[in-house]
Amino acid sequence: MPQSVIRETFGHLPDGTAVERVRLRTAGGFEARIITYGAALQSLLVPDRSGELADVVLGFDNLEAYTVPRRYYGMTVGRYANRIAGAGFELDGVHVALAANEPPNALHGGSEGFSRKVWTIAATEDGETPAVTLALHSPDGDENYPGALDVRATYRISAPRELTIDYIANSSRPTVISLTNHSFFNLDGVATGADILGHRLRIAADAFLAIDENRIPQPGPPRDVTGTPFDFREAQGIGARINDPDEQLRRGRGYDHNFCLREASGLRLAARVEAPRFGRTMEVHTNQPGLQVYSGNYLDGSVIGKYGRRYQQYDALCLEPQNWPDAPNRPDFPSSRLDPGDSYRNHSVYRFFAR
């Protein structure tokens, strides 16, 4: 069996800080490549029905491309994934003001956030289920969030064609938290140049959060998916209804919405994506209450990524297990609060099949 864990240098930041890449491999060729910058999934090699491997996540071959602001390809985002309305919230009677890095809102943890930090390799594990654990200390007041936060992100090949991502965090003071991985998936393979409109998607959700013009959840309860382009309870082509004259699709320029998963907690199936061309299928299982579905609406060809590809609109799909957006301002949403002595846990599993 080939070596299952390989550490190598991926590049250096302008101040000389080294960024490493860890390759987790199985004998069948399934391979995940993780970089310490942003604790990002840089590459994921998955076989198709013929056994041919392809990289199924958008990203870059060099560190410099990852350091440009507002590029979240494969990144770990936090302290709070998604949007917080008005770039602030109240916690125990105190107003916490955040950077409005997507005016007027805070997005994905702020101006820097966890996606622009160099994480430390805390441990690697060789063998049949190779893994790497990355660590980050976020001091009290980082991006103005209260509490010193210690975070661990573990990537593990937990089965021959299965990648597990675990986030665990503890805080010194009451705070809010929601972490996720922001990978852009194209199951036909990045190199093909194909879009994801022909991928078929099924989501285990009966409701979604309707958004306002600033892509913040509207007041009131989640909206029933019945009779809308957001009904993916049975598999539907992602592109089948994406251009429907629907106000929510217009506001997101496609799908950019939180789906409210049926069960409140526990590891369960959140979504299934099938790519008929080469037969790859991905299931996402998670313990999180929400799944943000983003159809790559703002990819505009201005970014050149792996294989010399210009990433265009609808070139990839993000399925991000997380808490609901703006939950710190919404007591009617699942709580995002983390108190000292408690642990935050996001456990998500990406299972791949070929048919």
C-alpha 214/C-alpha 68 separation (Å) is 24
- Is 199 in the active site? no
The full DSSP string for 284-346 is EEESSSEEEEE--TT--S--B-GGG-B--TTS-BEEEEEPPTTGGG-TTSPP-EE-TT--EEE
C-alpha 310/C-alpha 301 separation (Å) is 5
Residue of 20, 143, 162, 320 with catalytic role: 320
C-alpha 340/C-alpha 323 separation (Å) is 19
- Is 182 in the active site? yes
Q: Which two tokens stand for residue 43?
A: 């590459």
Residue of 182, 199, 257, 285 with catalytic role: 182
Name the β-bridge partners of 134.
Answer: 121, 153
Contact of 325 with 209, CB cutoff 8 Å: yes
Q: Which two tokens stand for residue 189?
A: 């393979």
**Side-chain half-sphere CA neighbours of 4 within 13 A:** 18
Report which residue type is found at 60. F
Pick from 76, 47, 66, 145: nearest CA to 353: 47
For residue 79, whether the previous peptide bond is cis, meaning omega lies within 30 degrees of 0, is: yes
C-alpha 330/C-alpha 333 separation (Å) is 5
CA triplet 128, 134, 136: central angle to 5 degrees? 165
Catalytically annotated residues:
182, 320
